[in-house]
Amino acid sequence: MVCAVDTPTVELRGVEKSFGDHRALDGVDLRIATPGVVGLLGPNGAGKTTLIRIMAGLTRPDAGTVRVAGRDLARSPARAGEVIGLAPQDLGLYPQLTARQNLLCFAGMSGLGHRDARARADELLDLFDLTPQARRRAESLSGGQKRRLHTAMALVHRPRVLFLDEPTVGADVTSRSRILDVVRQLCADGATVVYTTHYLHEVEELAGRVVVLTGGRVAVDAPVADVLRRWARPDITVEFAGEPPRVEGWTGRGHTLTPAGPVDNPTAALARLLSDESIQAAGLVAVDIRPSTLETAYLRIVSAAQPREAPDVLAA
């Protein structure tokens, strides 16, 4: 999915952005040197959308340098459109135009000639499984079909860098699967995809790189596998019919016990717990073990950085 390149596709140094008294980005450094998927994660208000708008040339930073595909966007944001594709969270379709006309319209705005525009539109309709809906007005498409068309429009001019902001929000299972397949194909063809989502299993499935923003700063920047290895831990919940007993190393809440700290070996931890005489007499009902996932890793990362979070969120 990745290959070497001479210069970084994306390079940010000391990027800052404030809205009034709220600092949305507080010195962001980010370097993406190879094609592939970069999952941009973070809680609401962490600065994700602001950072994407800056990297897409839509918003100027207050300070810092921004270079995307060799373009200096801090100085000349207008040059971004040549190499960047953006599919924001809010759908940007012409409802009265057909799916094919939407693609042709955007192709024309991107500078494609009539013949190339028609060929590219047909190619994207096929890629996103929208050929049967090519002549239907956008307003009549299903939510998932609209989401796929919206993403396809960002690919008309074959961008080297693609920013997808919550690309599967409101999409059905079929549309979500198709969008993920397209992302994999784009990366295999040498593109860089910056992918923002709250569906963390998608980033884990794409198996790329994870960048976590908290409080306007980069808290973690590493491959998914490394993030899982360092931060992820299995979750264990032991449920009782009544109030649980007090056991050292475990925390009681309601009718349940959970580990008081990280557990590397859930099987051994449970064996020790169940051997305790107080557990055997307490009316054990169920044991739930959730495996290590990017979600458990993410929650630990955000929790560790919580003191830096701003109390009032004014910008996403």
Mean pLDDT in residue range 216-229:
93
Average pLDDT, the chain: 88
CA 191, CA 157: separation in Å to the nearest integer?
Answer: 12
Token readout for 216 is 């306007």
- In the predicted structure, residue 226 carries a pLDDT above the cut 80: yes
**CB atoms < 10 A from the CB of 268, how many?**
10
**pLDDT on residue 7:** 67
Whether 229 shows a pLDDT value over 50: the answer reads yes
- What average pLDDT does the segment 61-83 reach? 82
Q: Which of 52-56, 102-106, 116-120, 312-316 is the least confident region?
A: 312-316
pLDDT of 81 higher than 80: no
Give the number of other CB atoms < 10 A from CB of residue 215.
21
pTM of the model: 0.79
Fold classification of 1-83+159-223+293-316 (topology level) = Rossmann fold (3.40.50)
pLDDT at 234 over 90: no
pLDDT in tens, 136-146: 999 999 999 99
* pLDDT score at 6: 53
In the chain, which ranges are continuous DSSP H helix? 48-55, 99-109, 114-127, 143-153, 173-188, 200-206, 224-231, 266-274, 277-280, 294-304
Average pLDDT over residues 301-312: 60
Is the Cα torsion angle 217, 296, 175, 183 positive or negative in sign? positive
Give the mean model confidence (pLDDT) for residues 163-190.
92
| pLDDT value, residue 147 | 93
Highest mean pLDDT, choosing among 152-161, 226-235, 261-270: 152-161
- Please state, in angstroms and as integers, the Cα–Cα distance from residue 28 to each residue in 18, 98, 148, 171, 303, following that order: 13, 41, 31, 31, 20
Which pLDDT score, from 0 to 100, does residue 313 have?
31
The Cα–Cα gap between 302 and 41 comes to 10
> Of all residues in the chain, what percent carry a pLDDT higher than 70?
93
Q: Looking at mean pLDDT, say which of 31-35, 88-92, 209-213 comes out highest.
A: 209-213
Question: What average pLDDT does this structure show over 83-107?
Answer: 93
Domain definitions of the chain by residue range? 1-83+159-223+293-316, 96-149, 233-291
316 vs 178 pLDDT, higher one? 178
pLDDT of residue 306: 65
Looking at the chain, how many residues does it have? 316
- Is the model's pLDDT at 3 over the cut of 60? no
70 pLDDT higher than 60: yes
Token pair in block for residue 193: 């995809």
DSSP type of residue 257: E
Q: What are phi and psi of 253, to 5 degrees?
A: -150, 120
Distances (CA, A) of 222 to 4, 108, 218: 17, 38, 11
Q: Which pair of structure tokens corresponds to residue 37?
A: 């998927």
pLDDT of residue 89: 87
